[in-house]
Amino acid sequence: MKHLKTTAIVLLTVICLGTAAFFIWKIADQAMEYKRGDDVYERMIEQAEDKGDPGESPDSSGPVGSERPADPVKSEQSDETSGDLPSEGEDSMPDINFDSLGEISGNIRAWLYLPDTVINYPVAQAENNSYYLYHLADGSRNANGCLFIDCKNRDDFSDPNTIIYGHHMNSGKMFASLVKYADQSYYEKHPVFCLATKQGKYRLEIFSAYTTTYDSPAYTLKFATEKEHADWLQEIREKSAIHTPVAVTENDRIVTLSTCAYSFHNARFVVHAKLVPIDE
């Protein structure tokens, strides 16, 4: 009997040690996967930054001889003022070389940047909304995924509401910091995102942020009437957990940033911002 007890204890110890080793391996493997994803994006930042060329004119924003596509947003932008918001981030965001990014992937549509945070990523778009949940911008499979535009949106941000999705990573990367916009003080330190596209550079002036459901009106892309559009703008503003000076009308184009939240099952956190072209 004593021998059987000893054998059982040994087996139980082996099982416990094996289970512990398995979970340690899983944690280490996940950390390595996250690190591989971070390394890819670090290299992409280096490749994306347009260092300029001596032959470029001061007003050029791309390679010599390239023409910037017509801006579909600028002509429709309202004349509403949006309050006294800082513009320091505009100066710190590098020019993005989309020709260089095109060599990595033809699906890259934009680059999103938030000063003094980890958000400095390419924004892609696929034929569905699941591919970039599990793939980096270069197409390699990775849990970090990639920031991506809703597959039903136009790729030039000309829709009334363009949605950009991103993971809420435990590492703090990707869109994990979006949930901090539930705090007024965080908003006041980071009121404006910067967005670069082939058409030009934009300010994303935040006017609303809140926790919602995965199927809420926040994810409406287009509107049947101006009244429906106006009512939607009023609704998402009233839901906001923060107060901002940014004015919005039906003439403005909205960009909605979305990530997972954990306050209830299938919760999401969204940040709504007005797309404002940066004059260059």
Q: Which two tokens stand for residue 63?
A: 């390679």
**Measuring CA to CA, how many Å separate 85 from each of 77, 166, 206, 242, 245?**
17, 25, 10, 15, 8
Q: Which two tokens stand for residue 21?
A: 């080793």
Catalytic residue among 16, 146, 151, 260: 260
Residue 174 and residue 145 in contact, taking contact as beta carbons nearer than 8 Å: yes
Rounded CA separation 249/267 (Å): 27
- DSSP single-letter state for residue 144: T
In whole angstroms, what separates CA 125 from the centre of its chain? 12
Q: By CB neighbour count within 10 A (0-12 exposed, 13-18 middle, 19+ buried), where does 248 fall?
A: buried
In whole angstroms, what separates CA 154 from the centre of its chain? 16
Rounded CA separation 190/85 (Å): 10
CA atoms within 13 A on the CB side of 223: 19
The answer to whether residue 16 is catalytic is no
- Residue positions annotated with a catalytic role: 260
